Amino acid sequence: MITTGIHGARNALSVGVLGTGSYVPAHVVSNDEVGAPAGVDHEWIFGKTGIRNRRWAKPDEATSDLAVIAGRAALEAAGVRAPELSLIVVATSTPDQPQPPTAAVVAAELGADHGTAAFDVNGVCTGFLFALTSATSMLEAAGGGHALVIGADVYSRILNPADRRTTILFGDGAGAVVLGPAAGADRGVVANRLASYAADRHLIEVPGGGSRIPATAATLAEGLQYFTMNGRGVRDFVADNVPPAIHEFLAAQNLTTADITHFVPHQANGRMLEMLSDGLGLPLDRTWTTYEEFGNTGSASVPLTLDHAARSGRLAPGDLVLLAGFGGGMALGLSLVRW
């Protein structure tokens, strides 16, 4: 488990969120459309998940295309130019291609292609929190600079249309934040915590296409290129691990969930978020959601939802914002931000 910003004095540099951005593809996919190949309808999907629609990328749209638009919006909101960036970190488990990193494509498209460090992080649905923690720590260590942190995924490319456990859940999208010197010493990223539970790694996986099971005609025929998930196992993992970890994380700051102004969790699905809210004792009216119209957008879900919250005008200076990611690995990521 990695924890930053909790024990001891804060670093001299306070890193804050200077701007946010997001993007979802134009194509709306209804429950009836996605459910037909899986043998389920709108009522079944909505009852199980609370999801009504999701957005899927066009055939000519890749993860980097979504990431660039979200990143550009965050830069505009922050008033930062792309060449001023020290870092571009893209969290994704659906990269454009195995090499180069998708972040390099994003850097080139944004015009940050002369010296800005650009790299990817694969933490599946927790990826954005891993990327945010990494970028925050690097800026603190450097004593300044700006970072663009993006979560982006195109899960529609790795879903088995006939698997009702997975194909109904996921949408495509991207969310981004620009990090830099906070407006004041009492503002910015207060603390981060990352943890992996590797014994449960098989709950979520794409078996084929890597170095262990390279893609062949046989593996494609077997469907090993598709995303798979043990839904019951994931639900149990979240129920058993996420609420205790959040309570412990907040207690280390002498806080409880009552002190949290805004909760921005991974948008796994509506029923799981209701369960999580009950386990935390955190009212749903303080929980931001986007799953109903966008589904589970993987590593994009936390920053996409944060952008919607930020642009609503309801996040006020000094508000405590808790970000929580959880998913494949299995993994958990938490970040506490003083807005």
pLDDT tens, position by position, 221-257: 999 999 999 999 999 999 999 999 999 999 999 999 9
Q: Report the percent of the chain where pLDDT is more than 70.
A: 98
| pLDDT beyond 50 at 270 | yes
The DSSP 8-state label assigned to residue 188 in this structure reads E
Name residue 118's beta-bridge partners: 88
pLDDT confidence of residue 284: 84
| pLDDT beyond 50 at 86 | yes
pLDDT tens, position by position, 18-43: 999 999 999 999 999 999 999 999 99
Classify 162 as helix, strand or coil. coil
Phi, psi of 76 (to 5 degrees): -65, -45
How confident is residue 8, by pLDDT bands cut at 50, 70 and 90?
very low
Phi, psi of 246 (to 5 degrees): -65, -45
* 224 C-beta neighbours (distance < 10 Å), count: 18
* 88 C-beta neighbours (distance < 10 Å), count: 30
How confident is residue 3, by pLDDT bands cut at 50, 70 and 90?
confident
pLDDT confidence of residue 6: 62
Mean pLDDT of 117-131: 97
pLDDT tens, position by position, 134-190: 999 999 999 999 999 999 999 999 999 999 999 999 999 999 999 999 987 778 999
For every residue of 250-306, DSSP letters joined together read HHTTT--GGG-SEEEE--S-HHHHHHHHHHHT--GGGB---HHHH-B-GGGHHHHHH
* Dist CA 272 CA 252 (whole Å): 26
How confident is residue 7, by pLDDT bands cut at 50, 70 and 90?
very low
CATH topology of domain 1-339: Peroxisomal Thiolase; Chain A, domain 1 (3.40.47)
| pLDDT beyond 80 at 320 | yes
The mean pLDDT value of the chain amounts to 94
Sheet holding 262-265, edge to edge: 2-4, 188-196, 331-338, 320-327, 262-265
Q: Report the percent of the chain where pLDDT is more than 90.
A: 91
| pLDDT beyond 90 at 2 | no
pLDDT confidence of residue 278: 86
User: What are the distances in angstroms from CA 59 to CA 4, 25, 65, 337?
Assistant: 40, 11, 12, 37
pLDDT confidence of residue 279: 87
pLDDT confidence of residue 9: 46
Higher-confidence position of 182 and 305: 305
pLDDT confidence of residue 12: 65
Mean pLDDT of 99-110: 97
How confident is residue 330, by pLDDT bands cut at 50, 70 and 90?
very high
Question: Active-site positions?
Answer: 125, 266, 296
